[in-house]
Amino acid sequence: MKIVLIFLIVCLLFYMLWVSGYLIINQKRALLYFDRRGKDSASRKITFSSCTGYTKRVLNLSKNHSYQFSFSSDIAKGTAIAEIQDKNKNVLFFLDNIHPVQSLDTSQISRYYLVFRFQKADGTICLEWKEL
């Protein structure tokens, strides 16, 4: 009985970390991968080398607001993009060097996911978002 209770508490802890955006799902290979959050929690800066795969996290956005996402990168080789997905894992839009700015209205969906996808990439990317 104690083992079941401990297991449930650990599962609840992981769920709370996931919903708050601190737990990350990773499926990638990289020689170097360094992900850091901005000062105001509304940006991500990632440095990577020989990176292939993806990372996924919950993006905490307030309901009934509009947000503008800005993407910038310095990629030596390969590709790296950022995706914003809804709670059903449908891609709402992606950001790369060709599409560096997109807007999102959060009036209907309660949970969003931020996914970074890499394909044999070396370099640095920065994603920032702000409320309009």
State the pTM of this model: 0.87
| Three-state secondary structure of 52-116 | EEEEEEEECCCCCCEEEEEEEEEEEEEEEEEEEECCCCCEEEEECCCCCEEEEECCCCCCEEEEE
- For the stretch 16-32, pLDDT in tens is 988 888 888 888 999 99
Whether 107 shows a pLDDT value over 80: the answer reads: no
- For the stretch 29-76, pLDDT in tens is 999 999 888 777 788 899 999 999 999 998 888 888 899 999 999 999
Q: Which residues of 66-84 are buried (b: 16+ CB within 10 A; e: fewer)?
A: ebebebebebeebebbbbb
